[in-house]
Amino acid sequence: MHEFQLINRYFSKLTSKNKNSLNLNDDVFFDKSKKLVVSVDTYVEGTHFINFKKPDLVIKKIIRSSISDIICKGVKPKYYFIAGSGNKKSFTPTNLKKISKSLKQEQNKYNIFLCGGDTTYSDKLSFTVTCIGFSQKIIFRNNAKLNDDIYITGNLGDSFAGLNILKKKIYTNSLLNRYFENKYYLPNLHLKLSKKLLSFANTSIDVSDGLITDLEKLINKQKLSYNINLNSIPISQNLKKLIIQKKLNKLSYISRGDDYQILFTANSAKSRIINKTAKSLGIKISKIGKICSNSQKSKIIDQKGNKIDVKTKGYFHRF
Amino acid sequence: MHEFQLINRYFSKLTSKNKNSLNLNDDVFFDKSKKLVVSVDTYVEGTHFINFKKPDLVIKKIIRSSISDIICKGVKPKYYFIAGSGNKKSFTPTNLKKISKSLKQEQNKYNIFLCGGDTTYSDKLSFTVTCIGFSQKIIFRNNAKLNDDIYITGNLGDSFAGLNILKKKIYTNSLLNRYFENKYYLPNLHLKLSKKLLSFANTSIDVSDGLITDLEKLINKQKLSYNINLNSIPISQNLKKLIIQKKLNKLSYISRGDDYQILFTANSAKSRIINKTAKSLGIKISKIGKICSNSQKSKIIDQKGNKIDVKTKGYFHRF
């Protein structure tokens, strides 16, 4: 069973009396009257991170993945709570020092504060991060409009290349190794863009499960489809090189997630302000397609104009 | 390393800039300006609950343990978020139905709402519950006053008897089995007392780790001691019977936690209003001792007036 099915079937009804809950159909919870935004995410060793050999980097990735949920909604994160379950091997004094140092660095970078949590013994290492921000409004899912342009920040696919290098599925030189591994561990979040998004994005999500999966999540309750140009999907010069060198499939690389870029849609009249914002903040923002009516099926078009199937949609938790 | 040492050594400094954090030295986080109260707790199979053979009861225990943190601070819980990690065996459709039904029942009982969470795959079953309430003020830890009376709600020890019965360490008749197992799984929280506490309690905590451990946590940053009368510590008629029948040690039973009763201190001038509140709400509240100066050591006095040592202080997570 997909986690979406699980939530829809067993848990959505628990929120029915509560209009603020978004029926669990968003990455964050928003209480408009309290101006409160909350996200909760769990990270399990072996599933969300390979291992704990680099606790400093794992912790940074976990914190960034968590606050990314809130940032992509147009909200600045303020507090975080971290609940760690692990054993003596994971929580050695050396590792604890590294964890503490990494948290401090992330706090300074994103202006957030540790406000609590829990530490429990378990032979399986996992972390649950609760993140809280405050805002008058947020950008919801399922609020795309017909003919909206679809945008993405930064580049996609570098993180998946990093994962493959860490898993020793791809071999390359040490410079490229370091570049991609850093992209895997240290996603670059666009905190400065966050508040600006509220003025032009109709709907938004962070790309954590993969571009196509997250795009489908973004409009899953709407009678709409999407039309994406493969050529417009932004990738780094380093990934371009790697794709040519190793004969990789671009589409499978941009569909595997862990990118933490912001995917959003906006009215075409907003394209000037979006370009201006991108320039002034020094953030790459690419137009990659359009929101269409559901009289046509969602499609991805390659450079020759051919419609292509998406086989690797992204990551789902199955139970 | 104790979890307290771990928090003090590595994580307290991360909250230094933030006056609201209580330096991680409380069960909840309180942001006075936002009137926000947050608790985060993790429950791991084999550590916090024996197994998942009774998912309906385990889920109820987890929810009650979580909201107990907030209720004992004088605050009504409003929202909860549950992050579950498990595998197909734990999250079967039958179990999911039971979990959903239990959550619904707890929501009705305590007027709380599920607002989000996460579901992830893991071969180790665990849950992290984030609970949120709103309040102008809360009852802090480490705010006991010299000569305060020490009070406890309800009875202690029934839950530990239930655990021992479930672990087959104690054998008794099926009626008593059911009584104690229910006390283990379904702690009776005093939601109605919660707001009233603000008017008389100087400091408070819920008894989750054991009476003595939690009493020491309650005043650990203060130059104070406590004086407890063993005889005054309230236990149920059923536990009295069991203690006589099985020649158990009362002190070890009331020191093992999972009781989720509220332990608080109050000025002796408040004793009339406390008794009146207890009567009007139909809640048992017992005076069990006094807060003393630190010129004397903390002590527990038995019915013969002898000072006794506390060997089993309660539960600590060690790493």
Q: Is the pLDDT of residue B7 over 90?
A: no
Closest CA to A156 of A288, A300, A255: A255
Per the model's pLDDT, the better-predicted residue between A304 and A293 turns out to be: A293
pLDDT of residue A202: 98
Which of the listed residues B99, B134, B169 is the one where a domain comes to its end? B134
**Mean pLDDT (chain B, rounded):** 90
CATH code (residue A184): 3.90.650.10
Which of the listed residues B134, B168, B183 is the one where a domain comes to its end? B134
Q: How far is A61 from chain B (nearest CA, A)?
A: 17
Q: Is the pLDDT of residue B22 over 80?
A: no
Q: Which residues on B lie below 8 Å from A209 (Cβ)? A: none
Q: Is B141 among the domain residues?
A: no
Together in a domain, A293 and A175: yes
Q: Do A107 and B81 touch (CB under 8 A)?
A: no
pLDDT of residue B219: 94
Phi and psi at A75, nearest 5°, equal -125, 140
Assess contact for A24 and A57: CB atoms under 8 A: no
Best to test chain B binding among A121, A128, A136, A208 (most B CBs inside 10 Å): A128
**Mean pLDDT (chain A, rounded):** 90
Lowest mean pLDDT, pick from A57-66, A141-150, A166-175, B2-11 = B2-11
Distance, CA of A113 to CA of B279 (rounded, Å): 43
Distance, CA of B99 to CA of B94 (rounded, Å): 9
Of the candidates B17, B48, B120, which has its C-beta nearest A47's C-beta?
A: B120
pLDDT tens-place string over residues A217-244 = 999 889 999 999 999 999 999 999 999 9
**pTM for this model (two decimals):** 0.92
pLDDT of residue B228: 95
Which phi-psi region, left, alpha or beta, contains residue B223 (left: φ > 0; alpha: ψ -120 to 50)? beta
Together in a domain, A302 and A163: yes
Together in a domain, A175 and A242: yes
Q: Is A267 among the domain residues?
A: yes
Q: Is B297 among the domain residues?
A: yes
Together in a domain, B23 and B129: yes
Q: Which residues pair with A204 in a beta bridge?
A: A264
Together in a domain, B105 and B244: no
Report the pLDDT averaged over residues B49-68. Answer: 96
Q: Residue B53, exposed/middle/buried by CB under 10 A (0-12, 13-18, 19+)? A: exposed
Residue-wise DSSP of A29-79: EEETTTTEEEEEEEEEBTTTBS-SS-HHHHHHHHHHHHHHHHHTTT--EEE
Q: Do B44 and A120 touch (CB under 8 A)?
A: yes
Sheet hosting strand B299-301, strand order edge to edge:
B203-206, B262-266, B149-153, B285-293, B224-229, B299-301, B307-308
The full length of chain B comes to 319
Distance, CA of B59 to CA of B260 (rounded, Å): 15
- The range of the structural domain enclosing residue B166 comes to 149-308
What is this model's ipTM? 0.90
Together in a domain, B64 and B38: yes
Q: Do A115 and B21 touch (CB under 8 A)?
A: yes
pLDDT tens-place string over residues B216-241 = 999 988 999 999 999 999 999 999 99
pLDDT of residue A309: 65
Distance, CA of A33 to CA of A50 (rounded, Å): 40
Q: What percent of chain A has pLDDT over 70?
A: 91
Closest CA to B283 of B205, B206, B188, B215: B188
pLDDT confidence tier of residue A24, bands split at 50, 70 and 90: low
Together in a domain, A269 and A293: yes
Place of tokens 């086989």: A311
Assess contact for A27 and A72: CB atoms under 8 A: yes
pLDDT confidence tier of residue B6, bands split at 50, 70 and 90: low
Q: Give the best-scoring range by mean pLDDT among A94-98, B144-148, B256-260.
A: B144-148
Q: Do B10 and A119 touch (CB under 8 A)?
A: no
Of the candidates B41, B107, B119, which has its C-beta nearest A118's C-beta?
A: B41
Assess contact for B62 and B35: CB atoms under 8 A: no
pLDDT tens-place string over residues A157-192 = 999 999 999 999 999 999 999 999 999 999 999 999
Best to test chain B binding among A13, A20, A26, A29 (most B CBs inside 10 Å): A29
- Which residues have CB under 8 Å from A170's CB, separation 6+? A161, A164, A242, A246
Beta-sheet strands, E only, within A71-202: 77-86, 113-121, 126-134, 149-153
Beta-sheet strands, E only, within chain B: 29-31, 36-44, 77-86, 113-121, 126-134, 149-153, 203-206, 224-229, 262-266, 285-293, 299-301, 307-308
Q: Do A11 and B100 touch (CB under 8 A)?
A: yes
Q: Residue B283, exposed/middle/buried by CB under 10 A (0-12, 13-18, 19+)? A: middle
pLDDT of residue A312: 46
Q: How many domains does chain A have?
A: 2
Q: Is B237 among the domain residues?
A: yes
The strand pair at B224-229 and B285-293 is best described as antiparallel
Distances in Å between the Cα of A318 and the Cα atoms of A7, B85, B92, B230, B250 are 12, 11, 11, 52, 47
Q: What percent of chain A has pLDDT over 90?
A: 75
Q: How far is A164 from chain B (nearest CA, A)?
A: 21
pLDDT of residue A280: 97
Together in a domain, A178 and A280: yes
Q: Do A115 and B29 touch (CB under 8 A)?
A: yes
Place of tokens 């008897």: B161
Assess contact for A145 and A265: CB atoms under 8 A: yes
Residue A206: its H or E element: strand A203-206
CATH code (residue A106): 3.30.1330.10
Q: How far is B173 from chain A (nearest CA, A)?
A: 34
Together in a domain, A211 and A279: yes
Q: Is B170 among the domain residues?
A: yes
Report the pLDDT averaged over residues B190-197. Answer: 96
Together in a domain, B74 and B153: no
Q: Do B86 and A14 touch (CB under 8 A)?
A: no
Assess contact for A103 and A218: CB atoms under 8 A: no
Report the pLDDT averaged over residues A112-117. Answer: 91
pLDDT of residue B4: 60
Q: Which residues on B lie below 8 Å from A43 (Cβ)? A: 120
Q: Which residues on A lie below 8 Å from B6 (Cβ)? A: 91, 96, 119
Q: Is B211 among the domain residues?
A: yes
Together in a domain, A168 and A280: yes
Together in a domain, B168 and B31: no
Which of the listed residues A134, A160, A193 is the one where a domain comes to its end? A134
pLDDT tens-place string over residues B155-176 = 999 999 999 999 999 999 999 9
- Which residues have CB under 8 Å from B212's CB, separation 6+? B228, B255, B300, B310, B313, B314
Q: Is A318 among the domain residues?
A: no
Return the number of other C-beta atoms located less than 10 Å from residue A269's C-beta: 9
End-to-end CA distance of chain A: give it in Å, rounded: 5
Q: Is A156 among the domain residues?
A: yes
Distance, CA of B141 to CA of B28 (rounded, Å): 10
